């Protein structure tokens, strides 16, 4: 499957779709745990957006 897929490590809930690219949508709606998100089969880091610049907020000017 292409795109985003997430599995809850606590309850096993499964989620699909581009919204998983955003950090705020990476919580299980059933139990509240942080989801394990994969994009095209590759695990996405928990606090990054898969299409982002790769810079933290401290490194991005003008976002305070």
Q: Is residue 27 part of a domain?
A: yes
Cα distance between residue 64 and residue 5, in whole Å = 31
Q: What is the pLDDT of residue 48?
A: 61
Count of structural domains, the chain: 1
57 occurs within a structural domain: no
**Within a domain: 54:** no
Residue 41 in any domain: the answer is yes
Distance CA 20, CA 14 (A): 11
Which tens digits make up the pLDDT trace of 11-57? Answer: 999 999 999 999 999 999 999 999 999 999 899 877 666 555 444 44
Domain-located, residue 63: no
Predicted TM-score (pTM) of the model is: 0.67
Does residue 19 form part of some domain?
yes
> Which residue range forms the structural domain that includes residue 35?
4-48
Please name the residue that has the structure tokens 């996405």.
44
Residue 12 lies in a domain: yes
């Amino acid at each position: 499957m292409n795109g985003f897929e997430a599995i809850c490590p606590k309850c096993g809930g499964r989620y699909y779709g581009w919204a998983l690219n955003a950090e705020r949508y990476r919580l299980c709606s059933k139990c509240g745990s942080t989801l394990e998100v994969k994009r095209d089969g590759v695990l996405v880091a928990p606090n990054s957006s898969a299409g982002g610049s790769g810079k933290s907020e401290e490194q991005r000017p003008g976002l305070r």
